[in-house]
Each structure stands twice: as structure tokens, then as C-alpha cells.
Amino acid sequence: NAGVTQTPKFQVLKTGQSMTLQCAQDMNHNSMYWYRQDPGMGLRLIYYSASEGTTDKGEVPNGYNVSRLNKREFSLRLESAAPSQTSVYFCASSEGPYEKLFFGSGTQLSVL
């Protein structure tokens, strides 16, 4: 099993550009999450989807949008990238809320 797959692994954007980070899981999990991790800091939740068809804001949703395309896929979109969005982004999934998370390998994003 691949688990949680994120693409791309690296990305450089110019301020104002848009992009979509892709995430897919093959574990038939109900819940999916997007976190960002800045140097020396913990994970901060951007958005989550408790189940297919639902999405909710996390701690730091400003500047981002998400789409739960189906049960497998959960994408994160930056409409107009800003330097403050330079970070490592992790997607995760779980069987449901209050269950252990399985993380992808991350996307390192730099916004110049």
C-alpha cells in the first residue's frame, strides 16, 4: 500500500501565483487533513474533512481553499500565494476523528 501520497514534493511560486497541492489515500479512510509546518514549530491545521462531502476550517485557513473530491482525494489550493505561505505542507488521513493519523511525506513550498 502507498498510504498517503502527496504531489508535488517541491514547488517554487512567485507571489500572486496559484497552485493546487494534491493528496490521495488508499486506506479507505473517512477523514483527511491538511497541516502546515514552519521551521521549529509544530503542525498547524489548515482544513480538515471529517467525512466525504464535508470540509471545515482549522486553525490557519486564511489564504487557502480545499476540495474533498471523493473519499480518496483531498486537495489544497492557494489562490494567490504569499511569502507567508512558505512552509512544508502535510496531508494526513484517519479512519475517523479521534483515530491515529497517517501522514504523507510532505510538500515543500517556497513563495518568492
Partner 1 sequence: GESVGLHLPTLSVQEGDNSIINCAYSNSASDYFIWYKQESGKGPQFIIDIRSNMDKRQGQRVTVLLNKTVKHLSLQIAATQPGDSAVYFCAEGNQFYFGTGTSLTVIP
Residues that bind partner 1 (CB under 8 A): 4, 33, 35, 40-45, 48, 58-59, 90, 92, 94, 97-98, 100-106
Comparison of 14 and 100: residue with beta carbon closer to partner 1: 100
Please enumerate in sequence order all residues whose Cβ is within 8 A of that of 40, keeping only pairs 6 or more positions apart, or say none.
Answer: none
Comparison of 17 and 72: residue with beta carbon closer to partner 1: 72
Cβ 81 vs Cβ 87: under 8 Å? no
Comparison of 13 and 92: residue with beta carbon closer to partner 1: 92
Q: How far is the CB of 58 from partner 1 (least distance, A)?
A: 6
Instruction: Give exposure, 47-85, as e/b (b: 16+ Cβ within 10 Å).
Output: bbbbeeeebeebebbeebebebeebbbbbbebeebeeeb
In angstroms, the CA 56 to CA 46 distance is 9
Q: How far is the CB of 39 from partner 1 (least distance, A)?
A: 11
The DSSP output letter for 39 is T
Comparison of 19 and 88: residue with beta carbon closer to partner 1: 88
Q: How far is the CB of 101 from partner 1 (least distance, A)?
A: 6
Q: How far is the CB of 52 from partner 1 (least distance, A)?
A: 18
